[in-house]
């Protein structure tokens, strides 16, 4: 049992699922990592049941605010069933066989991420609570999703904060894990769930890729940080005049080329370059290159607010260069997946970049993560992906 310091129950009362170490008055009963503990306020009133994590600053993650509940296999079954059922109602479920089925805290399963790539699931156990129930969760996932194969990608850095070792490989079943074929809005992609980034594909950008596809006709397109070509291939499918895509990862570029070949698209209009975007944009600027549509989808520069300052510099740099490369009337789709950089800060960085590039530009759309990455209202930390569609005045 955990008793909180006086006044430190406020965030739990708002149903935020994390208990930080500094809020704890005492821990009774010597719980082990992953054990279910009851959380009480200073007066002894029960608040929640949570998974205890002795090594992490996030000392406990709430399973339920109903202290009379029992956290067991049937509890987990209900959470997993609901998460899968929610996705089945989304329009995206009719347009793709690749969806995020479980999005951690926002699906009431703190630290668990599960993506479905056709008939393969990829699971990440990122906190000791879900790690404690790993076997039960794997069996339930298999049963409730009807997927035979589950690949585990519990190799994210955050596991270290929980005192957990990395673990990867098939946890259930077996498949060719390096090229799982999926279909997204009629386009074919191959997903390397074994070695690819995160779980292999950026499902959160699905609807934004579709938006870029709808805007691409007749345009010269630059896809910066292209990974396996998601935006580039969407733009080509939308009738782009030419598409140049760049990423620093040779493995990603290799798959991007395979993805291009897997679709009936004019390959002569596409080029993939392996380069550092920061340098590459400068080369393009010095060449006097111009684009009518630029996508900037960099990696997470600031996982937490502590890194926001350096991240702001990096975002400013690439956005400034993008504005210089943007033809009058051109569109910039610019993203940040940094949890530590909220939308208002991102917008002011992009505004500063436009001003410094002497570009007159307007926001015409805002982007977020696709619906299969829901954000529980009480858990704003889940709202990490943001983007702006900006048009440069003609």
User: Which residues of the chain form contacts with ligand SAH (CB under 6 A)?
Assistant: 197, 202, 205, 209, 225-228, 230-231, 247-249, 252, 276-278, 297-299
The least CB distance from residue 287 to ligand SAH, in Å, is: 18
- Comparing CB distances to ligand SAH, the nearer of 192 and 297 is 297
Structure tokens at 23: 């809020």
Nearer to ligand SAH by Cβ, of 134 and 300: the residue is 300
Chain position whose Cβ is nearest to ligand SAH = 230
What is the Cα–Cα distance from 117 to 183, expressed in whole angstroms?
9
Catalytic residue among 147, 180, 226, 337: 337
CB nearer ligand SAH, residue 63 or residue 346: 346
Distance CA 244, CA 117 (A): 27
Residue number with CB closer to ligand SAH (134 or 242): 242
> Could you tell me the smallest distance in angstroms from the CB atom of residue 248 to ligand SAH?
3
**Catalytic residue list contains 337:** yes
Q: What is the nearest approach in angstroms of ligand SAH to the Cβ of residue 348?
A: 23
What φ, ψ does residue 207 adopt, rounded to 5°? -70, -25
- We find the least distance from the C-beta atom of residue 250 to ligand SAH, in angstroms, to be 9
Q: How far is the CB of 315 from ligand SAH (least distance, A)?
A: 13
Residue closer to ligand SAH, measured from CB, 21 or 97: 97
- Inter-helix orientation angle 230-237/206-215, to 10°: 40
Residue 353 is encoded by which pair of tokens? 């970049």
Minimum distance of ligand SAH from residue 68's CB (angstroms): 44
When the beta carbons of 230 and 382 are compared against ligand SAH, the nearer one is 230
Work out how close the CB of 46 gets to ligand SAH at its nearest, in angstroms, rounded to a whole number: 43
Q: How far apart are CA 163 and CA 54, in angstroms?
A: 9
CA dihedral (168, 204, 230, 313) in degrees, to 10, reads -90
Catalytic residues: 337
């Amino acid at each position: 049992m955990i008793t909180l310091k006086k006044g430190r129950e406020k965030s739990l009362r708002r149903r935020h699922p994390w208990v930080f170490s500094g809020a704890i008055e005492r821990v009774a009963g010597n719980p082990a990592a992953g054990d279910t503990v009851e959380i009480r306020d200073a007066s002894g009133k029960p608040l929640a049941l949570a998974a205890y994590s002795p090594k992490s600053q996030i000392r406990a993650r709430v399973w339920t605010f109903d202290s009379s509940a029992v956290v067991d296999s049937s509890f987990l079954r209900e959470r997993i069933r609901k998460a899968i059922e929610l996705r089945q109602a989304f329009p995206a479920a009719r347009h793709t066989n690749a969806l995020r089925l479980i999005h951690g805290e926002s699906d009431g399963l703190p630290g668990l991420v599960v993506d479905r790539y056709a008939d393969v699931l990829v699971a990440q156990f990122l906190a000791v609570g879900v790690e404690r129930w790993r076997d039960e969760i794997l069996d339930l996932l298999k049963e409730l999703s009807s997927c035979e194969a589950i690949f585990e990608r519990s190799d994210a850095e955050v596991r270290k904060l929980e005192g957990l070792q990395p673990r990867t490989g098939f946890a259930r079943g077996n498949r060719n894990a390096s090229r799982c074929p999926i279909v997204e809005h009629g386009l074919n992609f191959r997903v390397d769930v074994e070695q690819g980034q995160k779980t292999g594909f950026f499902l959160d950008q699905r609807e934004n890729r579709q938006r870029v596809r709808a805007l691409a006709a007749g345009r010269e397109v630059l896809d910066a940080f292209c990974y396996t070509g998601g935006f580039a291939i969407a733009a080509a499918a939308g009738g782009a005049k030419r598409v140049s895509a760049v990423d620093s990862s040779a493995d990603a570029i290799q798959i991007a080329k395979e993805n291009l070949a897997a679709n009936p698209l004019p390959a002569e209009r596409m080029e993939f370059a392996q380069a550092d975007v920061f340098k590459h944009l400068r080369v393009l600027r010095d060449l006097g290159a111009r684009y009518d549509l630029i996508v900037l989808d960099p990696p997470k520069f600031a996982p937490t607010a502590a890194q926001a300052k350096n991240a702001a510099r990096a975002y400013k740099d690439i956005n400034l260069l993008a504005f210089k490369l943007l033809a009058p009337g051109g569109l910039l789709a610019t993203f940040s997946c940094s949890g530590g950089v909220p939308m208002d800060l991102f917008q002011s960085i992009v505004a500063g970049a436009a001003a410094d590039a002497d570009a007159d530009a307007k926001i015409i759309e805002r982007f977020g993560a696709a619906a299969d990455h829901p954000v529980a209202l009480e858990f704003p930390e889940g709202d990490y992906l943001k983007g702006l569609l900006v048009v440069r005045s003609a």
